Amino acid sequence: MNSKVVNFSRNFSYAITSNLVSLIVSTLMILIVPKLIGIEEYGYWQLYLFYSSYVGFLHFGWNDGIYLRYGGKEYTELNKRTFFSQFYMLLIMQLLIVLIILSISALLNLNTDRIFIFQMIALCMFFGNIRLMLLYILQATNRIKEYANIIIIGRILYCFIIIVFLLVGVRDYKLMIEADLIGIIVSLLYAMYICRDIVFREISSFYFSFRETVENIEAGIKLMFANIASMLIIGVVRFGIENSWDVSTFGKVSLTLSVSNLMMLFINAVGIILFPILRRTDEKKLSGIYSNMRTILMVFLLGILIIYYPFKVVLSAWLPHYGESLIYMAIVFPMCVYEGKMSLLINTYLKTLRKEKLMLKVNLISLITSVVITLITTLVFKDLNLSIISIVLLLAFRSVIAEIYLSKILGVTIYKDIVMELVITMTFILSGWFLNSWIAVISYGVAYIIYLIFKRKDIISTIKTMKELVRTH
C-alpha cells in the first residue's frame, strides 16, 4: 500500500475522530439538554444556534477564496507574510462588523432575550470567522490532523462546560450560549498556535494586501453566496415556522432537524479530505472516481435510514414532551440522503472543477422555490405538516438539478439511479408516516434489498476497483 493510500487513511481517521467527537457532543446536546431545560429556554438556545450558523458569511467570501485558490497546495509553499497580513485585515474588518451589529441591536425594539442573542451572535461571528481562516488554510493544505485537533478541543470544552452547568443545576440558556463561545475562543487560540508562523510575526511584516484580498473575495464570493443560498433553502422554511408559530414549536421542529442531521457529521469528514486530493487528481480520472464514490455513498446513505426506527422509539421514551414533533422525523430523516450526496459528492466535485457559478445558480433556483413554497405553507395555508414536508422536497429538488448538471460535465449517466433513489426515499417516508413501526421496518427493508439487487453489478464493480487500487499501489 503506497504512501498516498496510507496518508488518505490517516487523514480520514483524523477527520472521522473530530467528527465523531462532534457527533457525540451534538447527540448529548440533542438528548440531554431538551430533557433538562424548559421548552421555551430550549427554543431560545436553538434560535442562537440557528442565527449563528449564518455569521460565517460576514467575511464576504474571503475565507472561501483562500480555500479555493490554495486548495491542494502544501503548507510550506504558502507565503506566510501574505497570510499574516490577510489574517489581521480580516480581524479588523470583523471587529468593525461586531460594532455595527451591537449598535443596531441596541437600537431595535427587542425583548432582552433577543438582544442578548444578537450580542452573542456578534461575538460568535468575530471569533468564529477569524478561526475559520486558519481552519481553511489547514484544510486546503491537507493538514487534517491539526484541523481535527482544533475542532475536537472546541467541541469537548463546550460539552464539558454544558455538562458541568447541568450537573450543578444551571438551566439558563444564556450560560449555555456563553459555553459555546468559550469553546470557539479556546480553539481559536490553539489554531493561532498551530499557525504561529502566520499569526505571530513582526509588525513590520504587515502590509495592506488589497490585491490579494480582492482576488480571494472574487474567487470566494460566488461560493459564499452559493452557501448562503444553500443554507437558506431550509433556513427560509425555519424562518417561516418561527414567524407563524411560537418559539416552543420552533424548538421542537429544530430538535427533529438536528436529529436528522447527525449523519452529516460523518459525511462531512470525508468531504474535508476529499477536496485537496481531487484538486491534485488528473481531470480524466474524475468521472470514474465519481461513479465509484457515488455507488458506495448511496448504498451507505439509503442503508443508514433503517436506524430511524429504533432511534424514534428511544427518543419518544426519553423526550415525551417532544413526542408530537418526533413524528416528523419520518418525513425529514431522508434529508441526510440528499444533503449527504450534495455535500460530499456534488459540491466537492463542483468546487474541484471551479464551478462555483453553477453551484450558485442551482442554489438560487432552489432558494426561490423555497421562498414561494414557504409563503404558501406558512402564511396562506398555515400548515406545519406541509412546511416540514417541503424541506425534504426542496433538498431532493436541488440535489437532482445539481447532479444532472454535473453528470453532463463529467459525461456520466445517472438518470436511472436518481429515479431509484427517489422511489426508495418516498417508500421510507410513506411507510414511516402511515404504518406502525414493525411493518414500516419490513416495508423499507424489502425496498432496500430490491435496490441492492438492482445495483449489484455496480457494487461488485466498485469493490473490485477499490481492491485493485490498493493492490497495485
Residues 132 and 1 reside in one and the same domain: yes
Q: How confident is the model at residue 410 (pLDDT cuts 50, 70, 90)?
A: very high
- Please indicate, yes or no, if residue 382 is contained in any of the structural domains: yes
Range(s) of the domain holding residue 41: 1-208
Q: 382-408, pLDDT tens digit by residue? A: 888 899 899 999 999 999 999 999 999
Q: 303-332, pLDDT tens digit by residue? A: 988 888 888 888 888 878 777 777 788 888
What is the percent of the chain where pLDDT is above 70? Answer: 93
- Residue 329 contacts by C-beta under 8 Å, 6 or more apart in sequence? 256, 259, 260, 308, 311, 312, 315, 432
Tell which residue, 384, 429, 40, 425, has the closest CA to residue 238.
384
Domain final residue pick, 178, 208, 238 = 208
Q: How many domains does the chain have?
A: 2
Q: What sign does the dihedral 374-380-384-390 (CA atoms) show?
A: negative
Identity of the amino acid at 423: V
Residues 267 and 370 reside in one and the same domain: yes
CB 2 within 8 A of CB 470: no
- Please indicate, yes or no, if residue 22 is contained in any of the structural domains: yes
Identity of the amino acid at 356: E
Q: How confident is the model at residue 464 (pLDDT cuts 50, 70, 90)?
A: confident
- Please indicate, yes or no, if residue 456 is contained in any of the structural domains: yes
Neighbouring CB atoms inside 10 A of 203's CB total 7
Residues 383 and 300 reside in one and the same domain: yes
- Please indicate, yes or no, if residue 214 is contained in any of the structural domains: no
Residues 103 and 249 reside in one and the same domain: no
- Residue 61's Cβ-side half-sphere holds a number of Cα atoms within 13 Å equal to 22
pLDDT given for residue 438 in this prediction = 81
For the chain, the average pLDDT equals 85
- Please indicate, yes or no, if residue 213 is contained in any of the structural domains: no
Residues 202 and 226 reside in one and the same domain: no
- Residue 191 contacts by C-beta under 8 Å, 6 or more apart in sequence? 131, 134, 135, 138, 150
Residues 57 and 178 reside in one and the same domain: yes
Q: Where are the beta strands (DSSP E) in 230-291?
A: none
- Please indicate, yes or no, if residue 11 is contained in any of the structural domains: yes
pLDDT given for residue 470 in this prediction = 55
Residues 100 and 178 reside in one and the same domain: yes
Domain final residue pick, 208, 241, 266 = 208
Residues 249 and 172 reside in one and the same domain: no
Higher pLDDT, residue 172 or 218: 218
Per mean pLDDT, which of 120-129, 156-165, 224-233, 377-386 is the most reliable?
Answer: 120-129
Q: 17-53, pLDDT tens digit by residue? A: 777 787 777 777 777 777 777 778 888 888 888 888 8
- Please indicate, yes or no, if residue 215 is contained in any of the structural domains: no
Angle at the Cα of 386 (from 382 to 387), degrees rounded to 5? 75
Residues 192 and 250 reside in one and the same domain: no
Alpha carbons 69 and 392: distance in angstroms, whole number: 33
Domain final residue pick, 177, 208, 239 = 208
Identity of the amino acid at 90: L
Helices (H), 37-79: 39-52, 62-70
Residues 235 and 342 reside in one and the same domain: yes
Residues 255 and 187 reside in one and the same domain: no
Averaged pLDDT for residues 363-376: 94
- Please indicate, yes or no, if residue 163 is contained in any of the structural domains: yes
> Is the pLDDT assigned to residue 411 strictly greater than 60?
yes
Residues 151 and 271 reside in one and the same domain: no
In this prediction the pTM is 0.78
> Is the pLDDT assigned to residue 258 strictly greater than 50?
yes
pLDDT given for residue 473 in this prediction = 45
